[in-house]
Structure 1
Amino acid sequence: MGLLQHQFSKEFRDIVDFVYNQHFVLDQKLKKEYTDYQKMRMREDIEYNLSFLEISYRLDDKTIFHEYSLWLMSLMMNLMPHVGLTRMKEKMVLHYQLMKEAFKIIKVYDNIDIINQMIDDAILSTNNFQNYAYDAFVTDDRFGLMRRKYLDYLLKHDSKSAMNFIMELFNAGFTLDEIYIDIIQKVMVEVGQLWHRGDIGVAEEHFITVATQSVLSQFYPIIFSTTKKNLRLLSCSVGNELHEMGIRMISDLFEYHGWDTLYLGAAVPKKSILESIESERPHVVALSVTMPQHLLLCRDIALEIKTKYPDVLVGVGGRAFTMTNEIWKTWNVDLYATDARKLIQLSEEKVIRVD
């Protein structure tokens, strides 16, 4: 059995209860350091942490939990800098040790050795943690200052100026690909990092996302007026995935480049995806995953698509894949890309060969 598959099983509750309760037994300081709200969130976080361990185990990709342990340590330091690095390391190492102890007592996985290896790696990463490095939000390339200016408008809640600025760039000769990929996409990555560092809150992040969707909508008359190539794309986010802006932007650019697109949105059930493929017969199906917990479902959907519709090209992408050891190479998929520009190029090359 697994944690994702049996989230409400007795074994799952027992694992969470054990780790949660033992934290306070072994670390008496926590009772004073944590408020009631923080204790509630701590329990939720234990469930969340275990879900990453679970998906790493089931996909046989230790990189997922390794990358998550780095991300988690950085997040905790940003959320609670007053705790200090040494104390935070102590807390996280204890957390992982309690996870190991719980799995010894409560039978959940057949191969406990792999679980122990992943947890030991997380402990090592935590002890060696110094500073989780992000890709720089560079200002020394052709688009850097434009990204900075656009983001500054949004951080000031000046949606109108942000919208006008992006349209000015387009009217000045910047291509839609450049605006979408080199400016907007990288700004949204930076926004996520600002949240992770604690520089902005959830409300601010959501405002920027919604404002940017409005900015991009002004290009729809242009996007939908291009000459079509008799090529069809179906795209969506899989599972209970609510992050859908990236795949929406990809769909926009496919449409702009002459494809007919059917964008299904976020949290699309597998049954609905398959029904849409049956009725629409797309050349390419693009599946997006942001949270690694949905990778397993993505793999299963891709496999079923290729089994039922072998001539349909299946492409995958999204932030979750960047946390893996190139796991898509072991799947029955045809395409992987980190941005729309590359995905369109690969799709048109392969569609020509298939057709």
Structure 2
Amino acid sequence: MAAAGGYGLTRTAAAEITGRRDELAQAVVSAQFARRPALRDRYGDAGAAKCAEDLRYHILYLAEAVAADSPRLFSEYAAWVKVLFAGLKIPASDLRDSLEILREVVAERVGGPVADVAARCIAAALDGLPHVPDEPVAHLDPAAPHGWLAQRYLDALLAGDRRTATTLVLEAVEAGLPVRDAYLHVFQPTLREVGRLWQLGRISVAHEHFVTAATQATMSMLYPRIFAAERHGLALVATCVSGEMHEIGIRMVADFFEMAGWDTYYLGANAPAAAVVRAVRERNAAVLAVSATITAHVGAVAELIRQVREGLGDRRVHVIVGGYPFNIDPDLWRSVGADGSAAGAEDAVTLAARLGGAEFQDAGGGIAAA
């Protein structure tokens, strides 16, 4: 793992790979089709072009794993692709062969320390592939807390019935369901299940977007309860990195801080670094929360944190990161220069209290339970 704030074989290494990804992708596909002529008969020229497109994504994610010196990041990506390919009826052997050839091509055409780290990342992915099931476990469980509500909520949304879905949640909250439980046990597992269903090819991107938009709308209807918490005089700025469009997770984080008595300033997706620095200064924020749900955006997190630290100078802010890549590799936060990472919204509030210590206690008399 790279040293804290390091990302430094690292960004240069990633650039060396990503800058040549078209060349590398085409070299892998050409070699794979030459070794297995039956692939040309099965996929044709259009299939070969699609394979090259897939390889460009593989290379992009490999570059980020190399930059962070984190084989685990690439292993999880390869596992995700295996499940996706299974839904498309693409044999796992095709993925395995392309990764093996990718390792050879990077060694031949890039070489040096970059190729050595890339080889470790690819080897870890290849070792893990046989143990990856074709279908991951569902995220909704009727036996889980409020599992029945989550299932009915999802069923209504997949049927296109946003009104019924919203009513289910609002009535449950009126009947005594805490807002935090609606977030943790209804919205969160539903969104994860939607991602799983898309990965398996059982729903479309349109379904996924509809569920996300409907959930954001339902969350907004709960804001009067969220903003009713006693204030503690502490401020949070929350944002996604540039290019990151999956914003609902960081919005949930901001809402949990609101429920804990913080004043939150949610900047949404694609906020420029200069705007983030300005918001931290203007709001006198004690904590900056940064989200990335895609491994390919980890480098952008590191760059944003670097610019924030530089822009603030001697002004100190605690930086918390979160999202899928940071859940995969619990030490990844060190590589991007953060002060810690949180697996979820509730954990982020707890981590902020720990990072602030007595400073936060003096400023606000403690952090209320969410």
- Normalised to the residue count of structure 2, the TM-score between the two structures is 0.86
Q: What's the counterpart of residue 194 of structure 1? A: 197
Whether contact under 8 Å (2:294, 2:324) holds in the other structure is yes
- One-letter amino acid matched to 2:248: M
Q: What's the counterpart of residue 30 of structure 2? A: 21
Q: 2:322 aligns with which of 317, 322, 337?
A: 317
Quote the Cα distance in structure 2 between the aligned partners of 1:116 and 1:141: 41
Q: What's the counterpart of residue 345 of structure 2? A: 340
Q: What's the counterpart of residue 5 of structure 1? A: 15
Kindly state the Cα deviation for residue 328 of structure 1 after the two structures are TM-superposed. 2.1
Q: 1:52 aligns with which of 56, 61, 81?
A: 61
Whether contact under 8 Å (1:237, 1:267) holds in the other structure is yes
Whether contact under 8 Å (2:156, 2:162) holds in the other structure is yes
Give a deviation string over 1:11-39, Cα, whole Å, max 9, x none.
43321221122232222222232265544
Whether contact under 8 Å (1:163, 1:215) holds in the other structure is yes
Stretch deviating more after TM superposition (276-285 or 114-123): 114-123
* 1:182 and 2:168 are equivalent in the alignment: no
* 1:287 and 2:287 are equivalent in the alignment: no
Q: 1:147 aligns with which of 147, 150, 156?
A: 150
Kindly state the Cα deviation for residue 227 of structure 1 after the two structures are TM-superposed. 3.4
Quote the Cα distance in structure 2 between the aligned partners of 1:165 and 1:258: 27
Kindly state the Cα deviation for residue 225 of structure 1 after the two structures are TM-superposed. 4.1
RMSD: 2.4
Distance 1:322 1:70, change over 3 A: same
- One-letter amino acid matched to 2:339: D
Kindly state the Cα deviation for residue 3 of structure 1 after the two structures are TM-superposed. 7.2
Kindly state the Cα deviation for residue 160 of structure 1 after the two structures are TM-superposed. 0.2
Stretch deviating more after TM superposition (289-298 or 271-280): 271-280
Q: 1:207 aligns with which of 196, 206, 210?
A: 210
Distance 1:41 1:269, change over 3 A: farther
Q: What's the counterpart of residue 248 of structure 1? A: 251
Tell me, what secondary structure is at the counterpart of 1:185? helix
Kindly state the Cα deviation for residue 63 of structure 1 after the two structures are TM-superposed. 0.7
Distance 1:243 1:3, change over 3 A: farther
Kindly state the Cα deviation for residue 287 of structure 1 after the two structures are TM-superposed. 0.5
Tell me, what secondary structure is at the counterpart of 1:235? strand
Q: 2:81 aligns with which of 44, 48, 72?
A: 72
Tell me, what secondary structure is at the counterpart of 2:95? helix
Quote the Cα distance in structure 2 between the aligned partners of 1:304 and 1:154: 40
Q: What's the counterpart of residue 278 of structure 2? A: 275
Quick one: percent identity of the two aligned structures? 26
Quote the Cα distance in structure 1 between the aligned partners of 2:298 and 2:155: 34
Quote the Cα distance in structure 2 between the aligned partners of 1:232 and 1:309: 18
Whether contact under 8 Å (2:226, 2:255) holds in the other structure is yes
Q: What's the counterpart of residue 239 of structure 1? A: 242
Kindly state the Cα deviation for residue 137 of structure 1 after the two structures are TM-superposed. 2.1
Give a deviation string over 1:239-265, Cα, whole Å, max 9, x none.
311110110122123223322111111
Whether contact under 8 Å (2:293, 2:324) holds in the other structure is yes
- One-letter amino acid matched to 1:288: S
Distance 1:210 1:276, change over 3 A: same
Stretch deviating more after TM superposition (300-309 or 43-52): 300-309
Q: What's the counterpart of residue 328 of structure 1? A: 333
Quote the Cα distance in structure 2 between the aligned partners of 1:30 and 1:23: 8
Unmatched tracts of structure 1, length 5 or more: none
- One-letter amino acid matched to 1:27: R
- One-letter amino acid matched to 1:251: A
Give a deviation string over 1:278-300, Cα, whole Å, max 9, x none.
22221111011101111123134
Q: 1:227 aligns with which of 220, 227, 230?
A: 230
Kindly state the Cα deviation for residue 313 of structure 1 after the two structures are TM-superposed. 1.4
Whether contact under 8 Å (2:319, 2:340) holds in the other structure is yes
Tell me, what secondary structure is at the counterpart of 1:240? coil
- Normalised to the residue count of structure 1, the TM-score between the two structures is 0.89
Quote the Cα distance in structure 2 between the aligned partners of 1:330 and 1:97: 27
Q: What's the counterpart of residue 356 of structure 2? A: 351
Q: What's the counterpart of residue 4 of structure 2? A: none
Distance 1:129 1:337, change over 3 A: closer
Count residues in correspondence: 348
Q: What's the counterpart of residue 102 of structure 1? A: 105
Unmatched tracts of structure 2, length 5 or more: 1-10, 361-370
- One-letter amino acid matched to 1:138: D
Whether contact under 8 Å (2:326, 2:343) holds in the other structure is no
Whether contact under 8 Å (1:69, 1:122) holds in the other structure is yes
Distance 1:188 1:299, change over 3 A: same
Whether contact under 8 Å (1:282, 1:312) holds in the other structure is yes
- One-letter amino acid matched to 2:286: H
Distance 1:177 1:128, change over 3 A: closer
Q: What's the counterpart of residue 6 of structure 2? A: none
Whether contact under 8 Å (2:82, 2:134) holds in the other structure is no
